[in-house]
């Protein structure tokens, strides 16, 4: 399932890249990509709800907030 989310609170492209790399390490998450300028995160996940919970925890390390776009 392809998921799109808004991501806010990231202060620099390097932080976005680090978070993106961390998200791609989450079991069940593939092809995570953060567009820093647009504030958008896209990724593929078998179980989107579980993935979003894990991504939100990782995002907290960067003082970022992830909100799913419906």
User: Residue ranges per domain, the chain?
Assistant: 2-68
Band (31; pLDDT cuts 50, 70, 90): very high
- pTM beyond 0.85, yes or no: yes
The pLDDT assigned to 69 comes to 85
Is residue 11 within 8 A of residue 61, CB to CB? The reply is no
Calculated CA dihedral for residues 45, 24, 4, 17, nearest 10 degrees: 180
Instruction: Report how far residue 60's alpha carbon sits from residue 27's, in angstroms, rounded to the nearest whole number.
Output: 18
Q: Kindly list the distances between the CA atom of residue 31 and the CA atoms of 11, 26, 43, 50, in Å, as whole numbers in the listed order.
A: 22, 11, 5, 16
CATH class label, 2-68: alpha beta
């Amino acid at each position: 399932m392809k998921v799109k989310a808004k991501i806010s609170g990231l202060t620099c492209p390097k932080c976005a890249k680090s978070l993106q790399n961390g998200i791609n390490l989450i079991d069940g998450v593939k092809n995570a990509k953060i567009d820093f300028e647009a504030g958008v995160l896209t990724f593929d996940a078998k179980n989107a709800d579980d993935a979003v919970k894990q991504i939100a925890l990782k995002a907290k390390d960067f003082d970022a907030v992830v909100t799913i776009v419906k």
